[in-house]
Structures are given as structure tokens and as C-alpha cells.
Amino acid sequence: MVSRRSVLRALPLATAALVAPKLPAQQGPARVPPDPAAAAGAAIAVQGFTADLYRSLSSTAGDGNVVCSPYSVALALAMTRAGAGSTTADEMDAVLHAPQPRPGALDSGLNAVDQLLTGRYQDGDGTKQPKLATANALWTRLGLDLEPAFRDTLAGYYGAAPHPVDFRGATDLTRQAINTWVSDRTNAKIPELLQSGSVSPDTTLILTNTTYLRAAWTYPFSVPATAAAPFTRDDGRVVEVPMMRGPFDTMGYLEGDGWRAVDVPYAGGGLAMAVVLPTRDDLAAVEAHLNEEWLGALLRGFRFQMVQLRLPKWTFRLPAQLGGVLSELGMPTAFSSRADFTGISTEPSLRIDDVAHETFIAVDEKGTEAAAASAVIVRPPSIPQGPNFFVDRPFLYVIHDRSSGVPLFIGRVHDPLVTAPA
């Protein structure tokens, strides 16, 4: 039975600067200047965590569509890990692929990646340049004393300042306020991350972080209202889907053992969507090889070539509970009575209850809109000379930053007509 005496939550990324309920829109606390040298290690760490989390999550999703933002989950877990100790910290570092020396390199590296990415894209208009914005906040129970080192780490490396709220006396109003904060920073794409009953009077701490992306394609697709094309699912069923068509100019192209991929650029050329299509077996055979090395080689390996591309339109939303997945990945102690989060507060017996994560994605002829939020809950107790790339069967996709190799969103499309889990 999970104790209900204290709660710590974390929500990953969304849009705009840090703003707490009842506070004016303004910048968060001053952050440590980004160290570009630390970004490379963090980018590799995010690649490793992305591969692990996607592979585990997709295996529990059957043959349905999948979308998630391991980048968002990684930031939430990293903020939580800042208050962890002993075995709890060691296991979280391993799951997060934290670079050496631990834990400082993880905080410094994620701070550098986050500031470098948002510095490039947070002022974009979503058309001529992508808009990518993140926000972090720390919601604390009235009267809760935080350890100074934890407070300083979250402020300096994650831009998250503590905001005291009345979990005990205004439980549901507080939940609604946090949901509004998340919704505002995800363009209303994640309207209710915290479901009714998820915040209780004994909630101690909630860490929030959101990620929001809106990006137009470099080369817009065309898709007439009547342009339907067959799409063959892995179960053999053929569905008619709205199929977007090029032609395109040059884009990244890569072939591997049993698959080939195209890197579809967004306006400005900094971000792209890698689309991986099986050539021999079904998509599961490709996913079976997905690990840190495979993902890194994919994102580094594209070479420019003229490609004739057809890609279906799709919209999908996936809420997921990640506690079991993360425990199986190697951090079970954080979810047990043996958890050590004494670096957060002198509050006794803090442990993670579950990790809620929700991601939304919409892909059409103009571009992509995607948003993610996560909650870590802790309680005590057409070019003829180039290849054709017709995406007419299940495929894997990765939205990533080209220069750093950081994957932001990852998923698969089994059926473009499905908009949410059954």
C-alpha cells in the first residue's frame, strides 16, 4: 500500500517562460550560464534514455500507435534526482544514462541543452522558424522547508523556483491551477494532466516541466481533400488514409539493415523528423534493434539526397503511467519504502508513487504541433532521379535537433486514422 503522507511530482516540458498561478508572467530565477562542453554528454544521455523508454513503452502498447517525449520525462526525473541519495540516486543515474562525473554533469549538461535549444527556438513563430519552449516550476506545500542545495540546483540548472500552494486546504483548486499552468504552456494540448483525485491534502511537492513544439515544414506538402491512399497495417488490414505528397528538394536519406529512413526538415533547417520505414519485416523487427547506438547512428548518418516523399497525416494523443516501466528499466528503489530523497527536504519517507506522462502530436501538410507533460509523484510512507519514399505501412518517427542530436519526441504510427488509444 502506498503511503499518502507526502507527494512530489514532476511534469516535463511545454511553452513560454516560467509563470506560477497568481504571479505575473516573467522570467524564472537566474540560471547558470550554459556550458557548451557539457551539452554533448547530455545529448548522448537523452539518446540512451529515449531508446530505453520508447522500447519499453512500445512493448506494452501492443501494435497500436505510440508517442512520447523522453526528453520531457528526463528533465522531470533529473529534477527529482537532484534530491536523491544512495542507491536511489545510483539507479536513477543509470536509467538516465547520466554522464560522469555524477550528478553534476547531468544537471550542467541538461541546463546547457535546454538553454541552447530554447535560445534557438523559443522566439520562433512556428512558421519561418520553429517554436520550441520549455518551462519548469516547483509547487511546495505551505511551510515546507527545502534543502538549500536542492533549491539552488533547481533554480540554477532548471529555472524552477518554489511556489508555496495550499495543497491541504484547497486541494482541487490547486490541482486545477497546476493543470491551467500546464495547459497554458502546451497551447491547450495537455488540458488536464492531473486527473481528479491525483492531488491529495497530504501532497508535499510537485515539480512541473512542459515542452511545446510548433514547426512548419521547410517544403510544405500538398494533400487534396480527396487524396486518400492505402496504408497497410502490420496485421494486414488496409485502411484508406489522407496521404500528403511532395515533391521536395534535397533531404536526409539513409538505408540500414531491413529499413530505410528520410529526415524531413522543418523551416530553418535546425529541427527535423526522421521517418524510419521497414523494408523487409514489420516495424517490430526494427524496434527490436532500437538502442542508444542505433538511434545515435540514425540521427548522425543522414546524407542529403533528392527524395520523392509521401507521408500520411495523423493526430494522436497518448497518456501513460510510467512507474512500472521506469522500475523495470532499473530504478525500483525510488518507488519503494527504501527510497532516499532526503536531499529534497527533511520531510520523512518520500518515495515516487508513479510517473504520469501525456503527449500530443498533430502532423499535417503545413507542419507539426507537439506537446508533452509528465508528473513524477512521490509519497512518503517528387524527384525522378532520387528514391521514392512512400510511407504506406507502419513507421517509426523521431523529432530531433540536428546539430546536437537531441531527440525531442519519438513514436510510431500503426494506423494514421487512430487518434487515441481505444
- pLDDT at residue 19, as a whole number: 30
State how far the Cα of 175 lies from the Cα of 234, in Å rounded to an integer.
40
Structural domains for the chain: 10-216+315-379 (3.30.497.10), 228-312+383-413 (2.30.39.10)
Question: Mean of the per-residue pLDDT values for the chain?
Answer: 87
**Bridge partners of 372?**
211, 359
pLDDT at 422: 72
Please tell me the predicted confidence (pLDDT) of residue 410: 95
CB of 12 closer than 8 Å to CB of 72: yes
Residue 312 is given by DSSP the state E
Q: How far apart are CA 327 and CA 236, in angstroms?
A: 34
pLDDT in tens, 35-87: 999 999 999 999 999 999 999 999 888 789 999 999 999 999 999 999 999 99
pLDDT for 288-342, tens place per residue? 999 999 999 999 999 999 998 999 999 999 998 899 999 999 999 999 999 999 9
Q: Is 69 helix (H, G, I), strand (E, B) or coil?
A: coil
* DSSP code for 237: -
The rounded distance, in Å, linking the Cα atoms of 379 and 383 is 57
Distance (Å, whole) CA 12 – CA 370:
13
What string of pLDDT tens digits covers the 422 residues of the chain?
333 333 343 333 332 222 333 433 445 688 999 999 999 999 999 999 999 999 999 988 878 999 999 999 999 999 999 999 999 999 999 999 999 888 799 999 999 999 999 999 999 999 999 999 998 888 888 888 899 999 999 999 999 988 899 988 998 999 899 899 999 999 999 999 988 888 888 888 888 889 999 999 998 888 765 578 999 998 889 999 999 987 567 899 999 999 999 999 999 999 999 999 999 888 999 999 999 999 999 999 999 999 989 999 999 999 988 999 999 999 999 999 999 999 999 887 888 888 888 999 999 999 999 999 987 776 665 344 567 888 988 999 999 999 999 999 999 999 999 998 87
Q: Using one digit for the tens of pLDDT, what is the confidence trace for 242-259?
A: 999 875 678 999 999 999
DSSP lists the bridge partners of residue 271 as: 401
| Cβ atoms within 10 Å of 293's Cβ, excluding its own | 12
Cα of first residue to Cα of last residue in the chain, in angstroms, is 29
Using left for φ > 0, alpha for ψ between -120 and 50, and beta otherwise, residue 405 falls in left
Closest to 367 in 3D by CA, of 185, 75, 124: 124
Question: Based on the number of CB atoms within 10 Å of its own CB, is 297 exposed (0-12), middle (13-18) or buried (19 or more)?
Answer: exposed
Q: What pLDDT does 388 receive? A: 81
Closest CA to 164 of 23, 27, 29, 26: 23
